[in-house]
Amino acid sequence: MRLQFVLTEVAHGLRRNLSMVVSVVLVTFVSLGFVGSAALIQKQVDKLKGDWYDLVEVSVFLCPTGSTAATCAAGEATPEQIDTIENVISTELGSEVAHTYFESKGDAFAAFQERYPDGYQGTQLTEDDMQASFRLKLADPESFEVVSDVLSGRDGVEVVEDQRAVFQPLFLALNRASLIAAGLAVVMLLTAGLLITTTIRLSAVSRKRETGIMRLVGASNLFVQLPFILEGAIAAVVGSLLAVGGLWLGVRYLVTDWLEKSVDWVAYIGTTDVLQVAPLLVGIAVALAVVSSVVTLNRYTRV
């Protein structure tokens, strides 16, 4: 009987404040859309890092003829210097380097001819123009600094390069986009909280007679406030479900059906990732509605 009464009151409250309820749903939808977008962008960044950082290598370029680097003052790297560098890699960096590949000038020239059969920008280079190098596959892609500290400055080493630097601008842009989305989400969540507070306050004021009667018959604070809390929670949950649906459609049609088919060498997030984010969005919606409602109701309906 009490449950039926509470549900009836909730239905009446939703009908009485329909326009405000719709506003709460829409604001919650937009704000949680930003929250979900920020979470999905971060998932995409993590996926790209996981896939690409495992593929990148550290390139140790050896001194070519005519280099101006201080470590190349004696000219092109000698076989003795190359053997010394290889020994350092296998001993001092044995735990950091998972695999070592030496690319001679001949190997570099063969790769150049395969990539640029007609020459590079109209210039046909020769094997003597190539540069020998060690390509190091790291056990931990984050340990580049250790490798660089050990190998940089050694005779015969012109420069040590980390291929991750190529991807850093992309990751930086995606991280900034995630932060912008998170910032907008905070603003919109604050707006949603204020709107829920206003909606509940108007509902409580318009039903002062009913709540007064409930006080006279000895109803508890929870029983008086529960219909109002449920009204806010229902509106917020509907908004969160719309946000989940919008994100799912966006990922399904923009990422999976379009972007993934256009650029197929990148690992993308999928609809499964949206479903993983969904409980977070619903939980935020419920928490936002309950907190906003309780704060308001403690002032306007407390027995």
Q: pLDDT tens for residues 255-292?
A: 888 887 777 667 788 899 999 999 999 999 999 888 88
**Segment 152-205, tens digit of pLDDT:** 888 899 998 877 776 677 777 777 877 887 888 788 788 878 877 877 777 666
- pLDDT at residue 1 above 50? no
pLDDT computed for residue 250 by the predictor: 92
Phi then psi for residue 37, to 5 deg, are: -65, -45
pLDDT at 30 over 70: yes
Q: Which of 162, 178, 194 is the last residue of a domain?
A: 162
What is the pLDDT averaged over residues 213-226? Answer: 57
pLDDT number for residue 224: 58
Q: Could you tell me if 233 and 185 lie in one domain?
A: yes
Region 31-35: mean pLDDT is: 88
pLDDT band of 2, cuts 50, 70, 90: low
* 295 and 178 together in one domain: yes
Q: At 14, is the pLDDT very low, low, confident or very high (cuts 50, 70, 90)?
A: low
pLDDT in tens, 234-246: 888 999 999 999 9
Q: Verify that 177 and 294 share a domain, yes or no.
A: yes
8 Å CB contact between 32 and 284: yes
How many Å apart are CA 28 and CA 238, to the nearest integer?
A: 8
Q: Does 38 have pLDDT greater than 50?
A: yes
Q: Which one has a higher pLDDT value, 93 or 220?
A: 93
Same domain for 123 and 172? no
Share of the chain above pLDDT 70, in %: 79
Which CATH number is 152's domain given? Answer: 3.30.70.3040
Handedness of CA 209, 214, 215, 217 (dihedral sign): positive
Structure tokens at 193: 């909280």
Q: Residue 249's pLDDT is what?
A: 94
In total, how many domains does the chain have? 2
Residues 89 and 192 in one domain: no
Q: Is residue 283 located within the same domain as residue 182?
A: yes
Full residue range of the structural domain in which residue 195 is found: 2-52+168-300
pLDDT in tens, 59-87: 899 998 888 888 898 888 888 999 999 99
Q: pTM for the whole thing? A: 0.63
Instruction: Out of 129, 145, 162, pick the residue that ends a domain.
Output: 162
Furthest CA-CA distance within the chain: 99
Average pLDDT, the chain: 79
Query: Which residue, of 104, 131, 162, is where some domain finishes?
Result: 162
Do residues 176 and 261 share a domain? Answer: yes
pLDDT at 303 over 50: no
Both 36 and 70 in one domain: the answer is no
Q: For position 219, what pLDDT does the model report?
A: 53
Backbone angles phi, psi at 136, to 5 degrees: -110, 125
Q: Are residues 184 and 275 in the same domain?
A: yes
Whether 99 and 221 share a structural domain = no
93 shares its domain with 10: no
pLDDT in tens, 95-146: 888 888 899 888 888 887 877 777 666 667 788 888 889 988 888 777 778 8
pLDDT score of 147: 86
Do 133 and 233 belong to one domain?
Answer: no
